[in-house]
Structure 1
């Protein structure tokens, strides 16, 4: 292979074209673009060239190839782990054919290897794979706990285990760079590893690859790069957001551009955050400077996940199917299975009736207590014949067709969104599946006034501090993300603002019932509550955009 191709991501592209995506997905393989690998290698070699470099998830060795490009005459010790035989053989041939046979590629599971070996350079794009389905998960959990004292959640992805073990093997004076899904910085299972980085004082940079910058062709998850350094001197990390490869190249060159105007990289250095808080880089770069008057949403009620059936194709029925199987209305529950079925901030009985008449699947089987009904018995037999009783969730329930106990929530909120969450008053009192979370207010809470605030852009911007970011602009809230999110303390609103807010919200509800655009009313609500909170619209754009020189 020509040297120019060896020092590129062409080997990965060729390999991916020959091996089915299903096989690579099973292994959690998502190859890193060469430009990103080069940036990460420059971080690791920026202070001094390491003597021993590790890639725990080798693939075809793109990180070590990027590091070897322009390497001094005396090459360091290079070690890689690759569990897949086909990938390892391809990588060995690639390095041998290009004169780098000295690379020590171990065909083994990095997580099962000894923890004592140290490296002063580590580069890694760990496999992205659900942990619960792994056969050796108990061994991995115990190994992490034995060496670090960390009891990892079984909700953690496999890449968390790679990150923890690699950090443990980073030698004093060494540097490491990891590219990871950004979601773990905002997830509960990421708290222990964040605490580990803070306790050891090794975190130097958190670089978010923004919504418009999708480096991986096969994934939708927003990515981040962690730059670590194990030195005696600790310092607050820099929070950086990049939107294009050109900006990443500017950072790799020492955060300066030789020709043309300098690129301004959004960055901020903050006091060390708590591991228990969400590390939302966007919010850290753009944070309101006055948060008096805000309280957690849990002050006013509780957000709970929607009903998870375990098999929507079985549990959901259209009106035609309900009649076909002879199911009485007592045997089904009206429900909202999809967020696009409720595009307005109010969902009424008339809206449900339109969905029912258009034969959308808005009936939820309610078989418990109705087993003697002939239609229910026949429908359950159909489910057993189709294997619905053996699905992941249903097989652990007794009886298998039992629904989770979720009374209809008076207020719904979308789980996923792109343009901001949507709060929907559930006037139809329907059940909701997991496309929505349900909000259950505390007794005495003025739900109308709370909703009047929640539908505003002001609320959206502040809530965004707790959301999880995925690729292509997709955002997600888990129930506790919202329970812990800050909202306006409506109990402190003066009477004039309360009355005006309720009037505007009532008018917007009337409009939504008739599917009439009420954006002008929402804008007025936004101005009203922004004034009350004493935060102008510009206060939500506070941040620092400056050029940083050097590492």
Structure 2
């Protein structure tokens, strides 16, 4: 199965940034057909797509309905007219798109209900959602549930909520969404509502080599839900083979637990699935002690504009800024190849023109600073640095966040596996890392804690507290990392003791 030219995603540049803002990713045929086959059961003869885009699910509905020899009414909404035009160029007729309305589904959803809803909603992370829109959506969910949803819920979460509200009794919904819908900081609140009002029939997740969206930093899952009384158990499937037709066969055959090539299927309880995460297999939890008993954590420094504040020694020399205004820092996880960071390592990075010096000004007035620093700050104003969203909130705008040098760093998101790093360089980290501050700051205690955290048995528990992304990457927030369980066997082997 090949990828059509219009399905190829830009890897970088303005096109990639535009993709992030729109959150539009083409759903491949083998996935779209399987999803539609779930909806077209129980005599369902209609499909509504709240985010039609270029019409991947309309194409799938035509293919599946032809196989089943049934007629299906297609309808939907789409805010991007250019996407609909692209759909026409890729084979959809005017009659196929007749039931599609040009509307903002989030702000102005239809006033009718549907027996079948299927979508790959825009994956727009909360950073790209305006404060006004967030407030509107949070108020809407509060009106429905009496609960406020965390502001870090992306637009795709609200597509799911509003679509569930449009389901007819026993109607079916099938969405492909990022795993953060069940693993994000808002997941408990969201599923507290979903689990009390709808029946989760099945979840499909994908092995890294089988992801429907190669090159996209997201971990997709398929949710299959009905507007029916809640149920305690659901079918869980991991797809290990890209392009397999087994996914369609399994779903079309009523989610029966059989043997299918490229799939691994099992039954799970909703409570366990939400506790572990839908994108992860069931895991037997080990007895342990949470990290917060031994250390506290904090995110790294957010500069607001690394290119301006994070420099090499050559750049500093060019600007003639005294070194006393800088602290040594580490920015990228890929710049730390070992599990120990030393000053020699920072110097080697600087030699290959990787920044390791952070401009760390405080509340000094501009007039109190040397001429070279004033000139550099003036350059920042002229470049618009001072008016960037995060920086503009600071007073003065050039004041940098401060961190005590953490003895241990945590590389929480990157192409390499998440890992702990012993910081012997005296460096402060930027946002690619979390700071780990042991509650006893003696070399012996720090070394033992680092040994315990680096143990494979501890690392294997990270997925229980993190949010999974594409390619096996895990993102762990500071408060979540503090919940990481260090197994009792590891504590014993490393001779670690409670403070």
TM over 0.5: yes
Match of 1:121 in 2: 116
Match of 1:228 in 2: 225
User: Given the alignment of the two structures, is residue 251 of structure 1 paired with residue 250 of structure 2, yes or no?
Assistant: yes
The DSSP-based 3-state class of the residue aligned with 1:161 is helix
Deviations along 1:20-64, one digit per CA (max 9) or x if unpaired, are: 776665432212112111100111123x12144311111233223
| Cα drift, residue 469 of structure 1 | 2.2
Match of 1:401 in 2: 398
The DSSP-based 3-state class of the residue aligned with 1:40 is helix
RMSD over aligned CA atoms reads 3.3
| Structure 1 CA distance for aligned equivalents of residues 17 and 332 of structure 2 | 28
The DSSP-based 3-state class of the residue aligned with 1:383 is helix
Q: 1:270 aligns with which of 268, 271, 293?
A: 268
Match of 1:29 in 2: 24
User: Given the alignment of the two structures, is residue 454 of structure 1 paired with residue 453 of structure 2, yes or no?
Assistant: yes
User: Given the alignment of the two structures, is residue 175 of structure 1 paired with residue 172 of structure 2, yes or no?
Assistant: yes
Equivalent pair of 2:326/2:360 in contact (CA under 8 Å): yes
TM-score, normalised via structure 2 length? 0.85
Match of 1:530 in 2: none
| Structure 2 CA distance for aligned equivalents of residues 65 and 309 of structure 1 | 46
| Cα drift, residue 498 of structure 1 | 4.6
| Structure 2 CA distance for aligned equivalents of residues 96 and 291 of structure 1 | 53
| Cα drift, residue 423 of structure 1 | 1.3
Structure 1 segment 3-152 matched on structure 2, within 5 A: 13=7, 26-46=21-41, 48-71=42-65, 75-89=71-85, 91=87, 97=93, 100=96, 103-114=98-109, 116-134=111-129, 137=133, 138-152=135-149
Deviations along 1:109-131, one digit per CA (max 9) or x if unpaired, are: 11223465211111011011234
Equivalent pair of 2:302/2:401 in contact (CA under 8 Å): yes
Match of 1:506 in 2: none
Q: Which runs of 5+ in 1 are unaligned?
A: 1-7, 503-551
Q: Which runs of 5+ in 2 are unaligned?
A: none
The DSSP-based 3-state class of the residue aligned with 2:461 is helix
| Cα drift, residue 98 of structure 1 | 7.7
TM-score, normalised via structure 1 length? 0.78
Equivalent pair of 2:25/2:213 in contact (CA under 8 Å): yes
User: Given the alignment of the two structures, is residue 415 of structure 1 paired with residue 412 of structure 2, yes or no?
Assistant: yes
Equivalent pair of 1:240/1:265 in contact (CA under 8 Å): yes
Structure 1 segment 146-545 matched on structure 2, within 5 A: 146-216=143-213, 219-232=216-229, 234-244=231-241, 245-246=243-244, 247-254=246-253, 262-263=260-261, 265-273=263-271, 277=275, 279-284=277-282, 287-288=283-284, 291-292=286-287, 294-368=288-362, 371=366, 372-374=368-370, 375-443=372-440, 446-489=445-488, 493=492, 497-498=493-494
| Structure 2 CA distance for aligned equivalents of residues 24 and 429 of structure 1 | 38
Call closer, same or farther: CA 1:139–1:268 in 2, change over 3 Å.
same
Q: How many correspondences in the alignment?
A: 480
Call closer, same or farther: CA 1:22–1:491 in 2, change over 3 Å.
closer
Larger Cα Rg: Structure 1 or Structure 2? 1
